[in-house]
């Protein structure tokens, strides 16, 4: 804001206060006759100049006040701008903190993704291992099937030598052959399942279970074949009259060898040498044979030693929901619950016998006076009564004629007799 120029007061004598002679110190301000302040012609000009100077001073004061008000407003605006700047600074700081937090979360998410990728790689490795295990199980099942087929062949040879027990041994052999075929089919299914388990851990687990079942079936078939052979040999001993010490044994020869048979007449021992045949191609699945007879229950094998605990494998994928488990044992007694609501009213019991009459009780005290009851409503008007019959004259009285109600008449009465009657009545 520009600084206003200092006010000046001009006069014809060189300014309002340029000469000491222009102002006298005698007299009053309104004295015009003794040389007062405004005496003479020059005083009017000085007064005007002073008034103008005072007005300029007032204007300067007004301008100063206006400038002060403007400065105060600008200071308030500056303070508001400072507050807004601080708010913006705080908001920027908060945004920076939020951005830092989001960056940390993104870093954590990346770490979690890396961990998940590592776990997925472990799942793939575990799946491949499961598939390999299933394939091994399938191979074992196939070998068991081959062994069962060998037992079946031995049983068939023993059946030929048994003679009379042919039908029974044939049934056992047929059952063994059927079991071998089922084991071979199960092995094929297990192999297929093992291939599918490369893409699915669940399918691999199922294939492994099927392979284990096939191996168990093959083992059962081998046991049945051995049982059939024992039964055939027992039947042979019971039916052939070749001595009490007749024995039959078989030996598996290498593939390509010629079959052999020998008999020792001194020990009654017959020995068969049966070459191992080549593994033929898998034939078509035959029709389901008849149900074989139940084999005898084998002895339970001894408990194997406890194996070492293996290393913890990677986390498996979520399995399917299992069946509901058995009901757990009875829990401990709970704390006393709140009292339940009132039960419904029971049915009315039968009427009991009347008890004996009790003794007379004492008379109770007089009860307190009851409060006055409200006045009852007015009754309806009754029917008009028979009243007094009309007629009669002065001095007559109404007298009954007979006992019939209201059967009356007016009669004359002697006054003296009436007075006497009243006197007697009144005593």
Quote the mean pLDDT of the chain: 75
The predicted pLDDT at position 242 comes to: 53
Long-range contacts of 258-262 (CB under 8 A, 24+ apart): none
The predicted pLDDT at position 186 comes to: 65
Q: 300 or 25, which is more confident?
A: 300
- At 202, the pLDDT band (50, 70, 90 cuts) reads low
- What is the number of other CB atoms lying within 10 angstroms of the CB of residue 268? 15
Q: Is the pLDDT of residue 85 over 60?
A: yes
Average pLDDT over residues 186-212: 64
Exposed, middle or buried by CB within 10 Å (0-12, 13-18, 19+), for 166?
middle
| DSSP per-residue letters across 203-259 | HHHHHHHHHHHHHHHHHHHHHHHHHHHHHHHHHHHHH--S-TT-EEEEEEEPTTPPP
Average pLDDT over residues 172-184: 69
Q: Where are the domains of the chain?
A: 20-118, 122-241, 242-276
Of 63, 21, 62, nearest in space to 43 by CA: 21
Residues paired with residue 251 on neighbouring β-strands, in sequence order: 273
Average pLDDT over residues 76-100: 81
CA pair distance 364, 182, nearest whole angstrom: 104
Describe the strand order of the beta sheet including 247-253 as a list of residue ranges.
247-253, 269-275, 260-264
Q: Is the pLDDT of residue 192 over 80?
A: no
Give the whole-number percent of the chain exceeding pLDDT 90: 5
The predicted pLDDT at position 6 comes to: 43
Main-chain dihedrals φ then ψ at residue 341, nearest 5 degrees: -70, 160
Average pLDDT over residues 283-299: 86
Over residues 226-246, the pLDDT tens digits come to 887 777 666 555 555 555 677
- At 39, the pLDDT band (50, 70, 90 cuts) reads very low
Q: 229 or 374, which is more confident?
A: 374
- At 344, the pLDDT band (50, 70, 90 cuts) reads confident
- The torsion angle over the Cα atoms of residues 70, 71, 75 and 81, rounded to 10 degrees, is 50
Q: Which of 12-16, 65-69, 123-127, 191-195 has the lowest mean pLDDT?
A: 12-16
CA pair distance 102, 315, nearest whole angstrom: 30
Whether 19 contacts 11, CB under 8 Å: no
The predicted pLDDT at position 247 comes to: 82
The predicted pLDDT at position 30 comes to: 43
Residues paired with residue 263 on neighbouring β-strands, in sequence order: 270
- At 408, the pLDDT band (50, 70, 90 cuts) reads very high
The predicted pLDDT at position 27 comes to: 40
């Amino acid at each position: 804001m520009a600084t206003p120029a200092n006010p000046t007061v001009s006069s014809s004598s060189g300014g309002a206060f340029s000469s000491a002679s222009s102002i006298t110190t005698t007299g009053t301000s309104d004295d015009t006759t003794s040389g007062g302040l405004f005496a003479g012609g020059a005083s009017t000009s000085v007064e005007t100049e002073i008034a103008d100077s005072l007005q300029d001073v007032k204007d300067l004061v007004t301008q100063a006040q206006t400038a002060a008000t403007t400065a105060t407003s600008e200071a308030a605006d500056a303070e508001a701008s400072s507050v807004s700047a601080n708010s913006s600074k705080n908001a920027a700081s908060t945004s920076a903190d939020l951005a830092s937090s989001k960056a940390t979360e993104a870093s954590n998410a990346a770490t979690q993704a890396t961990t998940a990728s590592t776990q997925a790689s472990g799942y793939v490795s575990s799946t491949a291992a499961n598939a390999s295990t299933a394939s091994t199980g399938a191979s074992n099942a196939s070998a068991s099937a081959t062994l069962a087929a060998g037992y079946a062949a031995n049983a068939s040879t023993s059946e030929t030598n048994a003679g009379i027990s042919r039908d029974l041994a044939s049934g056992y052999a047929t059952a063994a052959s059927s079991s071998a075929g089922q084991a071979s089919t199960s092995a094929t299914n297990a192999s297929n399942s093992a291939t599918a388990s490369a893409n699915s851990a669940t399918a691999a687990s199922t294939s492994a279970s099927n392979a284990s079942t096939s191996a168990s079936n093959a083992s059962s078939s081998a046991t049945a074949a051995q049982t059939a052979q024992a039964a055939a040999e027992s039947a042979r001993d019971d039916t052939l009259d070749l001595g009490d010490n007749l024995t039959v044994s078989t030996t598996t020869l290498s593939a390509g060898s010629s079959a052999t048979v020998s008999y020792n007449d001194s020990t009654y021992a017959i020995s068969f040498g049966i070459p191992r045949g080549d593994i033929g191609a898998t034939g078509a699945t035959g029709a389901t044979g008849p149900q074989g007879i139940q084999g005898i229950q084998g002895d339970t094998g001894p408990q194997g030693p406890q194996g070492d605990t293996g290393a913890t494998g990677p986390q498996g994928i979520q399995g399917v929901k299992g069946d509901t488990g058995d009901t757990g044992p009875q829990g401990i007694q709970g704390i006393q619950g709140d009292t339940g609501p009132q039960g419904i009213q029971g049915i009315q019991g039968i009427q009991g016998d009347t008890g004996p009459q009790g003794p007379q009780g004492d008379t109770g005290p007089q009860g307190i006076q009851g409060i006055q009851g409200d006045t009852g409503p007015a009754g309806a008007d009754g029917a008009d009564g028979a009243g007094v019959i009309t007629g009669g004259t002065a001095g007559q009285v109404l007298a009954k004629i007979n006992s019939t109600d209201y059967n009356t008449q007016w009669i004359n009465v002697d006054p003296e007799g009436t007075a006497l009657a009243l006197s007697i009545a009144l005593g």
